[in-house]
Amino acid sequence: MLDKTKGLKEMSSKKLKKLSAEDKLKLAKKYKLKKEDLISMLRNIYVSRKLDDAEITMKKQSKAFFQISGAGHEGVLTAAAFAMKPRYDWFIPYYRDRALCTGLGVTPYEMLCQANGNIGDTASHGRQMPAHWGNVKLNIVNKSSCTGTQFLQACGVAEAGEYLNSLDAQGDDVGTDNFKDDEVVYTSCGDGTTSQGEFWEGLTTACVNKLPVLFHVEDNGYAISTPTFVQTPGGSISKAMDEFPGLKVLECDGNCPIESYATFVEAVKHIRAKKGPVLVHSHVTRPYSHSLSDDQSMYRTKEELAEEKVIDVFNSYPKTLIETGIMTESEVKELLDEVSKEVRQAMNDAIATEWPKPEDSLKHIFSEDVDITSSEFDTTPTLEGKDDIPMAGAINAVLKREFASNPLLRMFGEDVADFSQLEKLDNPDLSGKGGVFKVSSGVQRASKEGQVFNSPLAEANIIGRAIGMAMRGIKPVVEIQFFDYIWTAYMQLKNEMATTRYRSGGDFKCPMVVRVPIGGYLRGGSIYHSQCGESLFTHVPGICVAYPSNAADAAGLLRTAIRADDPVMFLEHKHLYYQGYNRTADVGEEYMIPFGKARVAREGADATIVAWGALVQKSIEAAKRVESELGVKIEILDARTLVPFDMDAVKKSLEKTNRLLICHEETKTSGFAGEIAARVNEECFESLDAPILRVTARDSYVAYCPTSEDYILPQIDDVYDQLKKLLSF
């Protein structure tokens, strides 16, 4: 193995060539690499490089529309593929990992079909750029363009495997055999991505939980144009991580497939022995620019590129095989000619393959297997006992019942468990936390060991890990403690959770529930405990959004969300958790409400109010005042879910009332009321006898002072005033 160094910029060619050809041959024998294995490695290296060249040709011919190469990384990635098991281990590779994927079994034709965007693309079915790897049959998880999001997802994939194994050991029928007791989860990045915070979150999570994750950092010296030593402490990620608790760190010359294979064999052996995660830091080259959109001659010298050409695996590894007598020069040439011919044929076949039908591009945004708007989710509540269960209690009851009956549910978040240590569960002197609002209290006690646990204080960590679990058949029901702090997780929510099904063409999916306390009216909540922002999620294709106003609806909608096949943002208004006016009797253990079905909270004929969350009750109170003064009847629709939204209910109501007022707590500008108004204008303008009016929060943050808060947030008087104005037209 190489000595620890300060990065590629400070690694001389002499150091990269530390092992002689004879030493490499000895190492190959030690690790039981046969002649045919060494030749197969060269073949895969050639295949990968020629695929890059083919894509570049296609791009020039306008048969591909983007290109980013894996050139220079082929040696270590070929070694990784040889040391691991497709269909057994799991892989979340990044865009340079072409040789890993060909080594695992992805064909040249499949890769070049992705470059062309046609139906032969098994990674994304024409939906993602080239080099966005994925193959459901080989356990290669479809990767997005985002850098750094993969590490937490890899932890989630690993945790899912560990949890499924534990359930299997307890005799639970988990309904899947897609887990192995000693599996390894591989995830990778370039040196630049180690600057992302989620890289460090992923490493921390893997080390704390001793997860079977192999982190591979492929260091080619540059993050586009930024050198490694500019952004990495000590110029070397392996040096920076050298004494990181719980992490085994290995470093290798990634230009030597033999040394790389030895390194990966040791890494995999360590993980399969359940000794915890490993970080492999490989030093590779980048003979081509970052992508075809980049020109590295602008920031790299001719001398540096000439040095790299010598150690580039495409040139150095054939030389090693010739020097050691494994192959002759003519055999190497014959192999390269054979591979070149194979790749040319694959390119021609890919170009001749048809593109998907344009209308198919709208498939797989939401589940096509489970329709949460259907009558299957329309059940009758039992309504036993008194109407004394608050919204928080109704949610809590659903969580307890669902978790007790389904071991594949997992809940985690900040403080959601009763205890972080299971041995405290039986301590009569400790009641347990169960969430800051006590909504998840007792769920840990009602569930199996490992179903409910506390997460780190990191929102992206919660969502990223949940995504990884969801892709393997676990149903996460996670909590973000306050909506105000969800933004560090927004990348995972918007670009990862929401797109998983779509970007993989339905091969992977991400059904999960994200419970989030939201909203103000707290007297003292101030800027960072009063935020609303539901429209920032209704805007994202692939996410369902529920926003109940009362205990019964919260229970019915939550059970539907848990049994859905899509990601759901379940927004729970903090102010409504323990109010007296929105309580319910026990709705029973099977009560569900379809999404996209509004509730008529109050029948009327003279005007329609559409509201959700805290504004439903405020609208009811305002309507009562107006009705008593003017002798009119106001119809109030509680939307209940915003995605899907019940537009039919709005149309039906407007046919009677011909007037519409929309009320929500979010700010006015770009709030969801604007979307409803636009649709009414487009779809039922003829039903309107007056302009559409809105009651919303002012375009401001919520201030701490109670009178300022009242002024900023919409009140009953605001609804009353706008309702009277609407009726005056």
Q: What is the largest CA-CA distance in the chain?
A: 100
Q: Residue 470: enclosing H or E segment and its boundaries?
A: helix 459-470
490 exposure class (CB count in 10 Å sphere: 0-12, 13-18, 19+): middle
Distance of alpha carbon 188 from its chain centroid, rounded? 16
Name which of 612, 559, 548 is nearest 583 in CA terms. 548
CB 616 within 8 A of CB 628: no
Q: Which residue has the tokens 């098994």?
A: 122
Alpha-helix residue ranges (DSSP H) falling in 548-614: 551-562
CB 615 within 8 A of CB 420: no
Residues with a catalytic annotation lie at 529
Phi, psi of 291 (to 5 degrees): -155, 180
- As a dihedral over the C-alpha atoms of residue 165, residue 169, residue 171, residue 175, rounded to 10 degrees, the angle is 10
CA-nearest of 550, 618, 609 to 584 is: 550
C-beta neighbour count of 406 within 10 angstroms: 16
Sheet strand arrangement including 213-219: 90-92, 185-190, 213-219, 278-283, 248-253
- Rounded to whole angstroms, the Cα distance separating 192 from 171 reads 44
Question: CB under 8 Å to 55, separation ≥6 — which residues?
Answer: 64, 67, 69, 112, 115, 130
**Among 227, 275, 228, 222, residue whose Cα is nearest residue 250:** 275
282 neighbors 219 (Cβ within 8 angstroms): yes
**What is the token pair recorded at 56?**
């570049």
Range list of H helices, 252-357: 257-272, 302-311, 313-323, 329-352
Location of structure tokens 């040096």: 239
Q: Which tokens sit at 59? A: 């791009």
- Looking up tokens 């101030």 gives 526
Name the burial class of residue 169, with classes exposed (0-12), middle (13-18) and buried (19+) by CB atoms within 10 angstroms of its CB.
exposed
Whether residue 562 contacts residue 343, with contact meaning beta carbons closer than 8 Å, is answered with no
The β-bridge relationship of strands 226-227 and 222-223 is: antiparallel
3-class secondary structure, 453: strand
Hey, how many other C-beta atoms are within 10 angstroms of the C-beta on 509? 21
